Amino acid sequence: MGEREYDASSYVPPAEVGEMELVHPKTFIGKYIWSQDAKVIAIQYVITATSIGLVALVLSLLMRLQLGFPNSLTLIDPSSYLQYVTMHGMIMVIYLLTALFLGGFGNYLIPLMCGARDMAFPYLNMLSYWVYLVSVLLLVVGFFLPGGSTGAGWTLYPPQAINPGTPGVDGGIILMLVSLAAFIIGFTMGGLNYVVTVLQARTRGMTLMRLPLTVWGIFMATVMALLAFPALLVAALMMLLDRLLGTSFFMPGMLSMGELSSHEGGSPLLFQHLFWFFGHPEVYIVALPAFGIVSDLIATHARKNIFGYRMMVWAIIIIGALSFVVWAHHMYVSGMNPYFGFLFATTTLVIAVPTAIKVYNWVLTLWRGNIHFTVPMLFAIGFLFTFVNGGLSGLFLGNVTVDVPLSDTYFVVGHFHMVMAVAPILVIFGAIYHWYPKVTGRMLNDTLGKIHFWVTFLGTYAIYYPMHFIGLEGVPRRYYAYGETTFISDSVQALNAGITIAAFIVAIAQVLFLFNLVWSYFRGRESGPNPWQANTLEWQTPHTPPRHGNFGEELPAVYRWPYDYSVPGAKHDFIPQNVPPEEVEYEESSKSGGRA
């Protein structure tokens, strides 16, 4: 046992599970299309999610155009505006963020960071991607149906969602629900894989408390997703039955286009409970991987161990568990029994404690570090700042009384974009700059990266910060136009125009990023196997990019936790996880320190 190191040991237990046999395809199609290699599947996820995400980005620009410069495009009418609102939200939350973090980063990093050859069930993993692709394609088809995609809002609240008169009620909503069901089925295949891999396929010596926080974040998010998505699945199926067979799960007796509808006795609130039982954990399904990844980015680029590792792991677990008992804070003014407010406000604010601890620990990790302002680090700091902002505004909305005037206003739009859109996206960018060298063997261009960071970071702040204030004034969200009101000041229009301009500038910066991705693939500086001098196993592979099977002839054995940065006396400021204590090189002066 080392004295200087926090968690290092020469003893490595024997392998519990035998080596897995991998299918090594010979053809191009087998290698890159019908691939069972988690790394290729990860890239497939990333490309698909990014492509559909770009569609959602364009939709948001169209919305901003209408809000900033009303009626400048005849293409945007009230129905199409609501369709943009719906599809933008749905795509960004589920088809982009969830797929990117779990399907993309999960697939690439879990086997590598755990020291596994591949996912536990490679074939199922491949199937997971293809079902995901089908769900995305179904979504895309929806755009081209007569009547277009659904315009029910991304929350798809009934009765609206399936009521005649709502945009896309003929086909769009059906495809949306089927696509969601497909997504969930595909995700379940992948999710079971991630969980089993983390629990069963870790290499020798990789105890749970030696896992990098990235894996912890993705693992916990996957467990949560496996528990939360079924609620959405049943809600989607029940709504499909209501829409197609005329059942009345969510549909009460009501008027529909001025006529009495054939439904009777259903509960619209039931859907909201099911939706948010999924929907709130979903926030953390996106946030926890971001938490994990940002921890690793900060530790690596500040050359410092993560502060309070055990606390960080427990915080992830506690946040994951608590997030299942806060869902109705989305429903304070939904008309549910208002006495629920007491319980849900309390649980919601309690969850702020472990979340705050994570923030402290990130900041304390930077304190007395040696901070390299690399592009990944810039994005990590950008995340910290944005997340603090979004987290604090969450304390307004989670606190039931405060929520009453603010719900359904631009305060909410500002809050959730900060906390669950911009913050995770900044981490995704940081992670891409960080791991791109491992995936391609080349560095991304630094200058382009810095421009990308500054425009995105400052731009998103300019977009979302002022929104909170017009929300305070009471400006409602999901409005196609504001018309004449007595309570909205005229200056709101000027602000909206400014926000729109900022949004377009930020969008242009993303084009720069895409260009960087492509350009660096061919022209980027060669990175070598471990350009950031990081400790985790993915940087210790014999080949860069890692080949199928990840670690060559022999799997690495793990002797220490992943955060041995700047260990006192050690010659280098990092000691990879697979370096046994006796092989650590020490400075001459400290050799007398006494080693086991």
Positions 567 through 596 that interact with another protein (CB under 8 A) = 567-568, 573
Q: How many residues does the chain have?
A: 596
Task: Output the smallest distance, CB 187 to another protein, in A.
Answer: 27
Minimum gap (Å) between residue 512 Cβ and another protein: 18
**Closest distance of CB 584 from another protein, Å:** 13
Q: Which of 25, 30, 153, 580 binds another protein (CB under 8 A)?
A: 153
- State both tokens at 506: 């930020």
Residue 293 CB, nearest distance to another protein (Å)? Answer: 18
CB of 245 to another protein, least distance (A): 19
Distance in angstroms (rounded) separating the CA atoms of residues 57 and 55:
5
Question: Interface with another protein includes 399 (CB under 8 A)?
Answer: yes
**Which of 20, 269, 505, 512: binder of another protein (CB under 8 A)?**
269
Query: Applying CB under 8 A, which of residues 54, 196, 321, 371 lies at the interface with another protein?
Result: 371
Crossing angle of helices 446-473 and 375-398, in 10° steps, is 10
CB of 222 to another protein, least distance (A): 27
Report in angstroms the alpha-carbon separations of 370 from 70, 210, 465, 565. 49, 23, 31, 10
- Which one of residues 137, 388, 512, 557 is an interface residue with another protein (CB under 8 A)? 388
* Alpha carbons 305 and 562: distance in angstroms, whole number: 8
Burial of residue 258 (CB within 10 Å: 0-12, 13-18, 19+) is: exposed
Stretch that binds another protein, among 113-121, 219-227, 280-288, 371-379 (CB under 8 A): 371-379
Residue ranges in 449-478 that form contacts with another protein under rule CB under 8 A: 457-458, 461, 465-466, 469-470, 472-474, 476, 478
**Does residue number 404 form part of the binding site for another protein (CB under 8 A)?**
yes
Nearest residue to 499 via CA among 410, 386, 412: 410
Residue 479 makes contact with another protein by CB under 8 A: yes
Preceding omega of 78 cis (within 30 degrees of 0): no
In the region spanning residues 80 to 99, those forming contacts with another protein, defined by CB under 8 A, are: 82
Closer CB to another protein, 229 or 410, in the complex: 410
Q: How many Cβ atoms sit within 10 Å of the Cβ of residue 469?
A: 14
* Nearer residue to another protein within complex by CB, 185 or 334: 334
Could you identify the residue written with the tokens 């410069």?
69
User: In 3D, which of 431, 434, 442, 430 has the Cα closest to residue 524?
Assistant: 442
Closer to another protein at the Cβ: 447 or 486?
Answer: 486
Rounded CA separation 346/326 (Å):
9
Query: 259 — phi, psi (to 5°)?
Result: -110, 155
Q: Which of residues 107-126 bind another protein (CB under 8 A)?
A: none
259 three-class SS: strand
Block residue for tokens 């590598």: 112
The CA-CA-CA angle for residues 23, 27, 28, to 5°, reads 110
Q: How far is the CB of 486 from another protein (least distance, A)?
A: 5
Name the segment binding another protein (CB under 8 A); options: 318-326, 362-370, 441-449, 503-511. 362-370
Which one of 122, 151, 531, 546 is in contact with another protein (CB under 8 A)? 151
Per rule CB under 8 A, is residue 357 in the interface with another protein? yes
6 forms part of the interface with another protein (CB under 8 A): yes
How far is it, in rounded angstroms, from Cα 382 to Cα 379?
Answer: 5
| The one among 277, 278, 396, 436 contacting another protein by CB under 8 A | 396
Q: Which is nearer to another protein, 407 or 440 (CB)?
A: 407
Range 530-569, binding another protein (CB under 8 A): 563, 565-568
Q: Is 208 in the site for another protein (CB under 8 A)?
A: no
**Are 303 and 249 within 8 A, CB to CB?**
no
Cα of 20 vs its chain's centroid, Å: 30
Q: How far is the CB of 136 from another protein (least distance, A)?
A: 25
- Binding positions for another protein, 283-302, rule CB under 8 A: 302
Place of tokens 């259903």: 266
Site string for another protein, 498-537 (x = CB under 8 A): ----------------------------------------
The answer to the question of residue 446 lying near another protein (CB under 8 A) is: no
Single out the segment in contact with another protein by CB under 8 A; choices: 47-55, 208-216, 369-377, 534-542: 369-377
Residue 455 gets the label, from left (phi > 0), alpha (psi -120 to 50) or beta, of alpha
Q: In a 3-state reduction of DSSP, which class is residue 337?
A: coil
Residue 371 CB coordination number (10 Å) = 15
Confirm or reject binding of residue 389 to another protein (CB under 8 A). Answer: yes
* Among 116, 378, 423, 507, interactor with another protein by CB under 8 A: 378
Considering only the stretches 188-196, 277-285, 308-316, 317-325, report the one whose residues sit in contact with another protein under the rule CB under 8 A.
308-316
* Pair of tokens at residue 234: 């049943």
Chain centroid, CA 317 distance in Å: 17
Output the smallest distance, CB 336 to another protein, in A.
Answer: 8
Site for another protein in 230-259 (CB under 8 A): 252-259
Q: Which of residues 156-185 bind another protein (CB under 8 A)?
A: 157, 159-160, 163, 165-167
Query: Quick one: which of 372, 543, 571, 591 contacts another protein (CB under 8 A)?
Result: 372
Q: What is the DSSP letter of 93?
A: I
DSSP symbol at 19: P
C-beta separation of 533 from 574 below 8 A: yes
Under the criterion CB under 8 A, does residue 209 sit at the interface with another protein?
A: no
- What distance in Å separates the CA atoms of residue 582 and residue 196, rounded to the nearest whole number? 32
**Contact region with another protein (CB under 8 A), list: 14-22, 235-243, 397-405, 552-560:** 397-405
Alpha-carbon distance 106 to 109, whole Å?
A: 5
